[in-house]
Chains A and B, each alone.
Chain A
Amino acid sequence: MNDLHGIIFAYRQNPDLRELAQRRNTCSIPYGGRYRLVDFALSNLVNAGVSDVGLIVHTSYQSLLDHVGSGKDWDLSRKHGGLRILPPFGFSGKHQSGHYRGRMDALAGVYSYLQNIRQDHVVLTSGDLAANLPIAEAFEQHLQSGADITALCTPVSQADPRMTNYFTLDSGGAVTDILVSPPVPKGDTSLETYILSKALLLNLVDRCAAHDIPSFSQGVLLAARGRLKLRGYRFDGYAARIQSVADYFQRSMELLDPQVRASLFRPGRPIKTKDQSNPSTYYGPEARSANSLISDGCIIEGTVVNSILSRGVRVEKGARVENCILMQRTSIQSDAVLRYAITDKNVRVCPGRMLMGHGTYPLVIAKNEIV
């Protein structure tokens, strides 16, 4: 048994994702055609040999539960351990707002679960991060370096600095400075993935609960300076945190770049997702598809350019789809034209309709809508 336990934070509501997160948790947003964001966190853990994973959820988690099920698609349906979904059972935080105010609040909410963790080490990761992380290597480095906390970070700058943490690393990899949601970024961007011992984690949760500090950034990162040995593990591959619709659109479209795909989809560390038994995708006699990522089970009889299609999408004859993201079972009927649009699950665009957004403000059509 691997000595590492996985905790995935999947409780956050994100209003910046507008219609996409209206009826679902950020972590179950479809991404890259056939995936949901949480597939990356789950696969990263499984690929590192982690056998026990706790998934912390709070509200709107029906779609997430539907997706992960028993965890069998990630080989996490086990007799002992495996995937455990952690809703806010008996959560009576000091703050009665009903929501977790931060990650330390969330960890306090599942305290009895944390106490029963079988492994000596824990990796905390975020369910809204699309990246193929070498967690096994980071864990190895963590053990060898004797660090109290190892933080995974990337030199590539990410989205909005006001929602991101930054680390300054010295040449040996030790963290010398930490910026929490700064106005101007400096140093490596945190991938919000941390490795630490179970004992330290419990200690930190206790400490934050006692001082009523709900936030991990405040209660752990800032408080750690000078007290704990904090080290960085620099990851050079592709990483995308999805925090707004514009982010979502831009980060999705980056997948059309073969280098991004090569970094995200590695043969040795496959990203697994829920199996739906779709047939292959069919292209009709007049179909055209260029620079696009197309999932299984689609029927394409029209034109698709610079787009990403989820499973079971239909593009009828004469229809034209450019720079779009079409989620599961979207149906674009004959001669309709879509540009810079994101259609959520089961959307139907009737014959001849024209819908256009813009690269910086893509049009989002909510789940089950008929245009």
Chain B
Amino acid sequence: MLLAGGQGSRLMALTRKVAKPAVPFGGKYRIIDFPLSNCVNSGIDTVGVLTQYQPLELNAYIGNGQPWDLDRSDGGVHILPPYVQEGDKGTWYKGTANAIYQNLSFLEQYDPEYVLILSGDHIYKMDYSEMLLHHRQTKAACTISVMEVPMAEASRFGIMNVDENDRIYEFEEKPKKPRSNLASMGIYIFTWSKLREYLIADEADEKSANDFGKNIIPAMLDAGETMSAYRFSGYWKDVGTIDSLWDANMDMLSADGGFNLYDPDWPIYARAAAQPPHFTGANAEITHSIVTSGCGIYGKVENSVLFHSVTVEEGAQVRYSILMPGTVVKAGAVVEYTIVAERGSIGAGAHVGSAPTGGEDWGITVVAQEVRVGSGSLVPAKAMVTRNVKGVKI
């Protein structure tokens, strides 16, 4: 069960029209491709995707699940939006646990032994079948995937305190004085009968926030259920903010960074656009960057991630930037430390973003979907451009 209904409000202009899981990532992908591909690579063939906020693009993207081999006659991918129930009882999803609760009848249809709960906002590769093996071996009611984080940062996470057998005895949400550095990754495996029991009890409690981290996990711990921590090591990144999204995209530029997109044993699948190969012009200079089909590169591209159908005209310079599908950077423009959302346009001679100054007021610049930055205009660092910017006569 993949929770994909969140708005991702900290991605600001990037999630105005799409849910966070549908935000483009890593040249060819959208964020949701990572958990979905992990499912398929782990041998999971029945996936529910719970949607709520701005679902149109996400629904269209997932479609019948064919790119992930999830177009199946038995199982496959199911989009699960909230719905009106008998006697007008239906509501929006109130929290992560409530979202699953509202789909109990979906789960009952399949009557599984175990249920894996995922969120659609993390970039990582993980074999859930190994986590399931751990869950079965420890005979746990719930297994939570954890990873070690630096002690200094532990207070930003949900922290699991475990005994010598990695059995969880305490869970602390963003503790001021953390006693362990095992952070929850928001990936849970539940034994289905237990999950069902606790979801029904949680729904009956009117004071509950209906959230896994805040309610379900503490309730299970209080009741003395066997709760096991599954240790994960490897690349894992939350891409919930502009900075972390930019960072994680930059990580895709070097396999040494811990994430190898080119690994044939763990492919990440995506719905691809039918575009011809990209073309590099006679004066193109592309270094330490990734470029996708349909692009036309005639200028200079350094340390950047270019999605499909991006044009960088002659004399334009793109540095440390992320250009989402259909972006056009006109002749002589400079784009640096910037994220340009789909079909954005940067006018000739414009200068968008700037290199880090070390100051407080510096940050990544964002140009929202379909926004045109006029020729010759100057867009400063950390700006969030959501409307067309008028050009200036040069």
Contact = CB atoms under 8 A, between A and B. Distances in A.
B315 interface: no
A223 B265 CA distance: 57
Contact of B287 (A284, A297, A304, A309): A284
B292 A296 contact: yes
A275 B290 contact: no
Contacts of B282: 290-291
Contacts of B306: 280
A280 B280 contact: no
A296 B66 contact: no
Given A283-B287, A295-B293, A34 B277 contact: yes
Contacts of B26: 279-280
A296 B293 contact: yes
Contacts, number: 105
A41 interface: no
A285 B281 CA distance: 18
A279 B290 contact: yes
Contact of A277 (B267, B288, B292): B267
A283 B290 contact: yes
Contact of A265 (B270, B276, B287): B276
B124 to A, nearest CB: 16
Contacts of B261: 279-280
Interface residues of A, number: 40
B272 A32 contact: no
A216 B286 CA distance: 50
Scoring A258, A279, A284 by chain B CB atoms within 10 A of each residue's CB, the highest score goes to A279
A270 interface: yes
B285 A271 contact: no
B272 A293 contact: no
Nearest to A264: B276
B226 to A, nearest CB: 38
Contact of A33 (B27, B277, B307): B277
A204 B278 CA distance: 45
Contacts of B274: 270-273
Nearest to B66: A72
B280 A289 contact: yes
Contacts of A279: 26-28, 261-262, 268, 290
A346 interface: no
Interface string A237-272: 000000000000000000010100100110000111
A296 B278 CA distance: 8
A288 B289 CA distance: 12
B377 to A, nearest CB: 28
Contacts of B286: 283, 287, 289
Contact of A291 (B28, B267, B268, B280): B280
Nearest to A39: B274
Contact of A32 (B28, B66, B277, B288): B277
B277 A284 contact: no
Contacts of B290: 279-283
Contacts of B278: 281, 293-295
B227 interface: no
Contacts of B283: 290
A202 B268 CA distance: 48
B172 to A, nearest CB: 38
A299 B284 CA distance: 17
Given A281-B292, A283-B288, A285-B288, A290 B281 contact: yes
Interface in A292-312: 292-297, 299, 304, 308-309
Nearest to B301: A283
Contacts of B277: 32-34, 293-296, 308-309
Contacts of B301: 283
Contacts of B292: 280-281, 296
Contact of B253 (A256, A275, A282): A282
Given A291-B282, A294-B291, A277 B272 contact: yes
B281 A291 contact: yes
A270 to B, nearest CB: 4
B186 interface: no
A34 B288 contact: no
Contacts of A286: 287
B276 A271 contact: yes
A34 B289 CA distance: 20
Given A34-B293, A280-B28, A284-B287, 10 more contacts: A32-B277, A271-B276, A279-B26, A279-B28, A280-B26, A283-B288, A289-B286, A292-B280, A296-B277, A308-B277
Interface of B: 26-28, 66-67, 253, 261-262, 267-270, 272, 274-293, 301, 305-307
27 contacts: A33-B276, A34-B276, A256-B279, A258-B279, A261-B279, A265-B275, A273-B274, A275-B272, A277-B272, A278-B28, A279-B27, A279-B28, A279-B262, A279-B268, A280-B307, A281-B292, A283-B291, A284-B288, A285-B287, A285-B288, A287-B286, A290-B284, A291-B281, A292-B280, A293-B277, A293-B279, A294-B277
The 10 closest A-B pairs by CB, nearest first: A280-B27, A33-B277, A279-B261, A280-B290, A270-B274, A295-B277, A289-B280, A280-B292, A283-B286, A265-B276
